[in-house]
């Protein structure tokens, strides 16, 4: 079952005061794209916040009119699904710094009348959460039944629950991290370098020149996508199959896996902006909430889920979160799920995964 046809809505969250960021800068105008599914109960106690990953958006479930694909977490959200919209009122917001309807570096700076570009202030995961908090305030939701997120989405949920545990009853973190490894940071650094060193980047002012750093963004996505899948999945899907005949060799794409990555990189250009990629990867590098958020009493109940073939945020990351939460006396459960699909498993349905989410929300 699906939630059906949905529309993205927009909300200004700086109508009463500007948004002050962790870096000290202020944004005078912040507009947020969001979607909701289900019905808010009269007591306003059935709200579930869904937090998206790096390249996601507000469209988590259902169909946009005329679209060919449903929202990115449609297999998890809907009537009778793990996040059951017959029971819960689900809110999904596009992140600050994004390029799908929420204010970001490609938006117009009201002070200059031109796009922010690299003048947009650097962001912290706490800033992403602060904007979500304002959306909920304007929707009249003071406490969440649950917050659910995968990858960067799970990092947002963790920040939320440590900062304001009184606002979140249950937290679900899937394939998430509380502190990136040097390898994670290195991979993102290479991706950002590909974008910023593209000749068409133009110091972040590429739109004003009528160009885009398409090559750099494509390479960044190709590199990132390799980290989202597993060797098992690539072997099963492509093996060692090639286009060219026996004995033929060439420098251009030949193996089927190469064509797959080319396709992933090219299709990404149609839905994402290079500046948003820069601004949303960097907060992940600096994320370390157990070092930056003061210890306090936390009544939020945590469910952590990891996948055995995820090498971008492997199970060790979830175990680190589990141990840090336990040291603070916070209730937490963790399960590693067997899956052939690597980090992308959080978007799919390996056996047992959705059951754990449903159980935690219903408990």
One of 145, 317, 343, 360 is an active-site residue; which one?
343
Task: Supply the angle between the helices 274-286 and 125-138 in degrees, to the nearest 10.
Answer: 110
Q: How far apart are CA 68 and CA 57, in angstroms?
A: 16
282 marked ligand binding residue: no
* 317 assigned to active site: no
DSSP 81: S
One of 145, 310, 318, 334 is an active-site residue; which one?
310
- Contact between 175 and 78 under an 8 Å Cβ cutoff? The reply is no
3-state secondary structure of 254: coil
221 marked ligand binding residue: yes
First-to-last C-alpha distance (Å) of the chain: 23
- Which of 303, 304, 302, 311 lies closest to 344, judged by CA? 311
* 57 assigned to active site: no
Sequence-distant contacts of 181-184: CB under 8 A, at least 24 apart: 184/284, 184/285, 184/312, 184/313
One of 92, 151, 230, 318 is an active-site residue; which one?
151
* 343 assigned to active site: yes
Residues belonging to the binding site for substrate are 221, 344
Known binding residues are: 221, 344
**Positions marked active-site:** 151, 310, 343
């Amino acid at each position: 079952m699906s939630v059906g046809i949905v529309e993205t809505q927009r909300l200004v969250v700086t109508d009463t005061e500007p948004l002050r960021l962790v870096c000290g800068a202020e944004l005078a105008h912040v507009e947020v794209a969001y979607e909701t599914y289900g019905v808010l109960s009269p007591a306003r106690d059935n709200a579930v916040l869904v937090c998206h990953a790096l390249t996601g958006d507000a469209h988590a479930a259902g169909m946009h009119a005329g679209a060919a694909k449903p929202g990115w977490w449609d297999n998890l959200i809907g009537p009778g699904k793990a996040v059951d919209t017959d029971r819960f009122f689900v809110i999904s917001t596009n992140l600050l710094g994004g390029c799908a309807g929420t204010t970001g570096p490609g938006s117009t700076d009201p002070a200059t009348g031109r796009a922010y570009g690299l003048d947009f202030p650097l962001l912290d995961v706490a800033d992403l959460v602060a904007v979500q908090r304002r959306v909920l305030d304007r929707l009249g939701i003071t406490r969440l039944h649950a917050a659910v997120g995968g990858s960067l989405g799970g990092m947002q949920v963790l920040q939320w629950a440590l900062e304001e545990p009184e606002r979140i009853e249950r937290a679900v973190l899937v394939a998430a991290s509380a502190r990136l490894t040097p390898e994670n940071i290195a991979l993102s650094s290479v991706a950002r370098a590909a974008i910023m060193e593209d000749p068409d980047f133009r110091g972040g002012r590429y739109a004003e020149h009528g160009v885009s750093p398409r090559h750099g963004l494509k390479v960044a996505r190709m590199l990132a996508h390799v980290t989202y899948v597993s060797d098992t999945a690539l072997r099963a899907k492509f093996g060692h199959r090639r286009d060219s005949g026996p004995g033929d060799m060439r420098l251009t794409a030949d193996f089927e896996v190469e064509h797959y990555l080319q396709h992933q990189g090219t299709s990404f250009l149609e839905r994402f902006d290079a500046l948003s990629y820069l601004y949303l990867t960097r907060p992940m590098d600096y994320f370390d909430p157990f070092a930056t958020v003061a210890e306090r009493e936390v009544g939020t109940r945590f469910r952590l889920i990891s996948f055995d073939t995820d090498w971008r945020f492997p199970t060790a990351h979830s175990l680190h979160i589990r141990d840090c939460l336990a040291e603070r006396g916070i209730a937490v459960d963790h399960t590693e799920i067997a899956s052939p699909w690597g980090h992308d498993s959080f978007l799919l349905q390996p056996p047992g995964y959705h059951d754990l989410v449903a159980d935690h929300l219903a408990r």
